[in-house]
Amino acid sequence: MKPAHEKEFRDFTAAQTPALLRVAYLLTGDVHLAQDLVQSALAACVKKWHRIDEPYAYVRKAMYRSQYNAWRSRARKPESIVDAPPERADRDHADGVAARHDLRAALARLPYRQRLIVVLRHYEDRSEAEIARMLGISPSGVRSQASRGIAALRRIHQPNATGTEVLR
Amino acid sequence: MSDETISEGLKSVPMPADLVPPHGFADSVLRRRARARGTRAVVAVVAVVAVLAGASAAIGGADRSAPPADPYPSSSADTLPDDAVPRPGGGPRVIEAFSNGWMPYLLDQRSGEYLAVPFRAEVSPDGGQVAVSDLDRGLGVAGREAYLDGGESAVAWVTGPEVTDTVGGVRSLWSPDGSKVFGATEVDAGLGDGSGRLGTLTSYDAVTGQLVVTTVPADWKVTGVVWAPDSAGYAVAVEREDGRTEVRHLTLAGVVGATVELDGSDVILVGYSPDGGRLLYENGSWNEEEGTGERQAVVADAATGRTELTAGFENGNGHGASTVGWLDDGALLMAVDPSPEEHGFVVVDAETGDFGPSIPWPTAENVSVWSVGSSAGLPPEAADLGF
């Protein structure tokens, strides 16, 4: 890598990694996995760095595609796209309550693809067309997955009568 | 909870305190890349054979199937929301293809809508085809309507990923006569620091399917490449040792022809007027971080390089501007940022240098324009997309 490009890469990494980590954390639900996801995406861009017109968008796309492909290749276990959220084994455990009192925990309980699409649609504010293009699925598929994901989030993450948000 | 509540909730999700970049994050990324490069060297021979085989097939016009890689849709039926598209109010021209930094869009002349497409596309001069470029695939061509309807499945990839439009300041893929597209390949500059230089230019004849690879002299410090007006070769901007820039003509066979010296420093070559008589470029300096400097568009006689017109960037509040290209022999298109939050374009009179009013881009975000064409034929309800 040419010194000027390396400097540009380092500047970009310093400036943008915190924002990239936030997205990666929403996708993975784990600090170390998030760091690894960002690092992998950046590493995939290093060689062609000087040819990338818009690095922020490119690195994010690399991150999403990497995550999507990883999920698709995992064990071929059928991904249940369900209307009702899966039950949690530790639902009644008091020591898990605090961790479940946030939207991120609810997000983490969504099936992989729904989680990705919800993050793209409602955290990144990307259009259905953009998500469809990025993930290689139809816009109607994006709409359907986003809708189911949001419905599941509503069920998992509901404010109770006192206004305190709890997970169901 | 409404969608908005969830959206706001996601954006304010508290993050763990240890969600920070590890110390030396950039270093570890670069080391990881270096380790991967060492591993890949083992399989390099296999890769070279595969690329050559692909090129042979493309030259023969036989097998142009897309390489399997990341998922891309076969089509993209969604459009920009109507309220995202400012209506300039009608006029003979329309922005046909642009990217908002996240997604490329192409105007569907049949419906008057901008459709999201898989790869950024440049529309041919006759409006019937598109040339696409992708870092992971290379150059491709497709019928315009087929591409709008079928996405990647309509694209014939004519080169490998080593040929793209992002090396050496390539501008405008289509030749002026609409017969060919071109891209560039980078080679190691031989400086030992991993830096590259423009190595070859590859043209693809969309009529015959012929690929022609032209070697660029190794001692040329290339800053930009455009098609020559006669579509028979290239005009290559080369920075000389004295800091001046000259345009050297290069035929497809690699024969060096006429040389024209340009004025000023830090030159960006933009292109020839449609009649081939004038050359448009930028010169001057600009500090991106400080937003200061003086840059201008220059229209020069194509044969002599003599400056005929300079148009300073009247960007209102000192914000950025750049030259997009020729609209016709008498008009230029420039991108302007009237304020940090406003992005748009202006039409500039190529005879007087007078600027027209600023018009917002088709989306609220800043965009890169790939093609401008005629608004003729747009359905009545979309006619006001013209300018």
Specify the CATH number for the domain of residue A55. Answer: 1.10.1740
Pairs across A and B, CB distance < 8 A: 149
Best probe of the B interface among A103, A124, A156, A158, by most B CBs < 10 A, is: A103
Our measurement of the distance from residue B178's CA atom to the centroid of its chain's CA atoms, rounded to an integer in Å, reads 17
Residue B182: the pLDDT is 95
Q: How do the residues of chain B divide into helix, strand and coil, expressed in percent and rounded to 5?
A: 15, 40, 45
Per-run averaged pLDDT (10 residues), chain B, 387 residues = 80 85 84 57 30 29 32 43 61 88 85 88 95 89 95 93 82 92 89 81 95 95 94 95 94 95 91 96 73 80 95 57 87 80 83 85 74 92 88
Q: Which residue, among B156, B158, B202, B206, has the nearest Cα to B179 in the 3D structure?
A: B206
Domain count, chain A: 2
Question: In a 3-state reduction of DSSP, which class is residue A40?
Answer: helix
Pair A94, A168 in one domain: yes
What are the two backbone dihedrals, phi and then psi, of residue B10, each rounded to the nearest 5 degrees? Answer: -65, -40
Residue A165: the pLDDT is 44
Pair A57, A93 in one domain: no
What is the domain partition of chain B in residue ranges?
A: 64-385
Contact of B11 with chain A, judged by CB distance below 8 Å, is answered with: yes
Q: Is the dihedral of CA B140, B144, B148, B150 positive or negative?
A: negative
Count Cβ atoms below 10 Å from residue B136 Cβ, excluding itself.
12
Position A52: which residue type?
I
Closest in B37, B75, B102 to A57, CB measured: B102
| B7 CA: distance to closest CA in chain A (Å) | 5
Residue B360: the pLDDT is 79
Give the ranges where chain B is alpha helix by DSSP (H).
3-11, 25-40, 44-60, 144-150
Question: Position of tokens 């504010």?
Answer: A125
Pair A101, A148 in one domain: yes
Our measurement of the distance from residue A106's CA atom to the centroid of its chain's CA atoms, rounded to an integer in Å, reads 13
Cβ proximity of B147 and B153 under 8 Å: no
Closest in A14, A22, A54 to B101, CB measured: A54
Residue B26: the pLDDT is 87
Note the ipTM here: 0.74
Residue B168: the pLDDT is 74
Is residue A117 domain-resident? yes
* B 324-343 → A contacts, CB under 8 A: none
* B 53-82 → A contacts, CB under 8 A: 70-73, 75-81
CA separation for the pair A101, A97 (Å, rounded): 6
* B 142-171 → A contacts, CB under 8 A: 164, 166-167
Cβ proximity of B333 and B327 under 8 Å: yes
Pair A95, A128 in one domain: yes
Longest dimension (CA), chain B: 68
Position B131: which residue type?
A
Pair A61, A95 in one domain: no
Q: Do A9 and B26 touch (CB under 8 A)?
A: yes
CA separation for the pair B204, B210 (Å, rounded): 6
Q: Do A150 and B15 touch (CB under 8 A)?
A: no
CA separation for the pair B387, B377 (Å, rounded): 14
Best probe of the A interface among B2, B7, B10, B162, by most A CBs < 10 A, is: B10
Question: Position of tokens 């670069």?
Answer: B30
Beta sheet of B113-116, edge-to-edge order: B113-116, B104-108, B93-99, B368-374
**Using CB atoms within 10 A of its CB, is residue A39 exposed (0-12), middle (13-18) or buried (19+)?**
buried
Best probe of the B interface among A110, A122, A147, A158, by most B CBs < 10 A, is: A122
Specify the CATH number for the domain of residue A105. Answer: 1.10.10.10
Q: Is the dihedral of CA B145, B147, B153, B158 positive or negative?
A: positive
CA separation for the pair B27, B380 (Å, rounded): 56
User: What are the structure tokens assigned to B56, written together?
Assistant: 């042979």
CA separation for the pair A28, A37 (Å, rounded): 9
Pair A100, A168 in one domain: yes
Q: Which residue, among A57, A52, A21, A65, has the nearest Cα to A39 in the 3D structure?
A: A21
Chain A neighbors of B152, CB-CB under 8 A? none
Contact of A128 with chain B, judged by CB distance below 8 Å, is answered with: yes
Q: Which residue, among B164, B176, B129, B157, has the nearest Cα to B64 in the 3D structure?
A: B157
Pair A65, A93 in one domain: no
Pair A57, A107 in one domain: no
Closest in A18, A48, A103 to B21, CB measured: A18
CA separation for the pair B189, B199 (Å, rounded): 9
The domain of A119 spans 88-168
Cβ proximity of B343 and B337 under 8 Å: yes
- For residue A35, the chain B residue with the least C-alpha distance is B21
Boundary of a domain, candidates A74, A96, A124: A74
Is residue A79 domain-resident? no
Cβ proximity of A1 and B186 under 8 Å: no
Task: Assign domain B64-385 one CATH number from 3.40.50.11440, 2.120.10.30, 3.40.50.300, 3.30.470.160.
Answer: 2.120.10.30
Pair A37, A70 in one domain: yes
Closest in A51, A102, A139 to B78, CB measured: A139
User: What are the structure tokens assigned to B75, written together?
Assistant: 């089509």
Is residue A131 domain-resident? yes
CA separation for the pair B68, A161 (Å, rounded): 52
Pair A122, A68 in one domain: no
Beta bridge partners of B300: B279, B307
Question: In a 3-state reduction of DSSP, which class is residue A8?
Answer: helix
- For residue B151, the chain A residue with the least C-alpha distance is A133
Residue A158: the pLDDT is 63
Residues of chain A where predicted confidence (pLDDT) is lower than 70: 70-101, 157-168
Pair A50, A97 in one domain: no
Inter-CA distances, B113 with B86, B98, B384, Å: 12, 13, 12
Pair A1, A54 in one domain: yes
CA separation for the pair B369, B75 (Å, rounded): 22
Our measurement of the distance from residue B343's CA atom to the centroid of its chain's CA atoms, rounded to an integer in Å, reads 18
- For residue B23, the chain A residue with the least C-alpha distance is A14
Chain A neighbors of B30, CB-CB under 8 A? 1, 6, 9, 46
Position B160: which residue type?
G
Is residue A14 domain-resident? yes
Is residue A64 domain-resident? yes
Residues 6+ apart with CB under 8 A from A91: none
What are the two backbone dihedrals, phi and then psi, of residue B216, each rounded to the nearest 5 degrees? Answer: -90, 130
Q: Do A52 and B20 touch (CB under 8 A)?
A: no
Closest in A31, A57, A139 to B76, CB measured: A139
Cβ proximity of B76 and B118 under 8 Å: yes
Q: Do A122 and B7 touch (CB under 8 A)?
A: yes
Q: Are strands B93-99 and B368-374 parallel, antiparallel or unpaired?
A: antiparallel
Beta bridge partners of A2: none
Question: In a 3-state reduction of DSSP, which class is residue B134?
Answer: strand
